[in-house]
Amino acid sequence: LINAVKRFRENNPSDKIEFKLATGNIGVMAAQNEVVKEAQFPILMYVFGAVILLCLITFRSWRAALCIVLPLALVSILAYTLMYFLGIGLKSSTLPVVALGIGVGVDYGIYLFARLDIYIKQGDFFEDALAKALRRTGSAVVFTGVTLALGVSTWIFSSLQFQADMGILYLAKPLSIEH
């Protein structure tokens, strides 16, 4: 509806009448979604920038920050791709879900990397340190991810479209973070 009004306004310019979209619920939703669309990538860059900065401060290593942020960036790209193919638009109601996925992924990455860092500093070879870190934190990460995915995926059966969309998205998203 919003796009049709915009097209009509562009194709039929008039000095006598001006179509405004910011009236009623649809107009407010359209305005919010336009703001979200414009702000989504700057906000994600701020989030990733903050994560990188805090990882640099915590681990004192750009490699550590890269190891934590690159999987998050990949998962974010995959989430946007999945949303596109499933026809789930990025709106003010869906943006927090993408941000939540980044937050959960940061937790997983930090749990694993912090353990890995400890074992490497203790003198373990990388492969041994990784195996120990996965044994130590892997089950907690998998348990948390599966619990979150199963809980939210029950929303698929909701009659509310937003919840159904988020159930589908989250069924795929936390499981992809773990791998």
Note whether 24 and 32 are within 8 A (CB). Answer: no
Helix runs in the chain, H state only: 2-11, 24-59, 62-86, 95-121, 126-153, 161-178
Is 174's pLDDT higher than 50? no
Given a cut of 70, whether residue 5 has pLDDT beyond it is yes
Rounded mean pLDDT of 104-126?
Answer: 86
Distances (CA, A) of 78 to 3, 94, 133, 148, 177: 27, 15, 26, 18, 10
Spatial CB neighbours of 112, under 8 Å, sequence gap ≥ 6: 133, 134, 137, 138, 141
**Contact at 8 Å (CB) between 159 and 144?**
no
Q: Rounded CA gap, 62 and 179, in Å?
A: 22
What letter represents residue 168's amino acid?
I
| Confidence at residue 175, expressed as pLDDT on a 0 to 100 scale | 44
Is residue 177 within 8 Å of 75, Cβ to Cβ? yes
pTM of the model: 0.61
Mean per-residue pLDDT over the chain, rounded? 78
Q: How many CB atoms lie within 10 A of CB 141?
A: 19
Q: What is the mean pLDDT of residues 23-51?
A: 76
> Who wins on pLDDT, 60 or 141?
60
Look at 170 and 38; give whichever has higher pLDDT: 38
